[in-house]
Copies of this chain bind each other. A is one copy, B any other.
Amino acid sequence: MRMGAITIILTDGPYISEYAEMAYKIAKAALKKHEVNIFLYLDAVHIPKKGQNPAFFANAGELFGELAALGARVEACPRCATARGYAPVNGESEDYLGAIKITSLYRLAEMLEESDRVVALSR
């Protein structure tokens, strides 16, 4: 059983900054013992896009898919996602990797209320 919860908030898209990768490293370490929530806000809603194929960097989509498979709850802001072309249908986007949901900004507040720690990474 995991004890204690941490919420990570991201606002940058993949590759343009190293925060997606740093969040992955933090989450990966935390998941060994703790609950991990990740909220994708503003440009970070690009992170779960399907079909990423970076030649020089780690594939951010795959990294976050791995986190979700390890039990992290990864959710994206619907306003930010819809604006950027990821309109959710029943909380999912056909452009997104599975396991990553588009929920509600209220979920960010819930994650924060329920968490013991919060880490926000942004440029």
Contacts and interface: CB of A to CB of B under 8 A. Distances in A.
Contacts of A54: 82-83
A95 B61 CA distance: 17
Q: How large is the interface on A (under 10, 10 to 19, 20 to 34, 35 or more residues)?
A: 20 to 34
Main secondary structure of the interface of A (DSSP, over half): loop
What's the number of copies of this chain in the assembled complex? 2
30 contacts: A13-B13, A13-B43, A13-B46, A13-B84, A14-B83, A14-B84, A15-B80, A15-B83, A15-B84, A16-B42, A16-B43, A43-B43, A49-B85, A50-B85, A51-B85, A51-B86, A51-B87, A52-B85, A53-B82, A53-B83, A53-B85, A53-B87, A54-B82, A54-B83, A55-B82, A56-B79, A56-B83, A61-B85, A95-B95, A123-B123
Contacts of A106: none
Interface in A74-123: 79-80, 82-87, 95, 123
A91 B54 CA distance: 17
Contacts of A52: 83-85
A55 B83 contact: yes
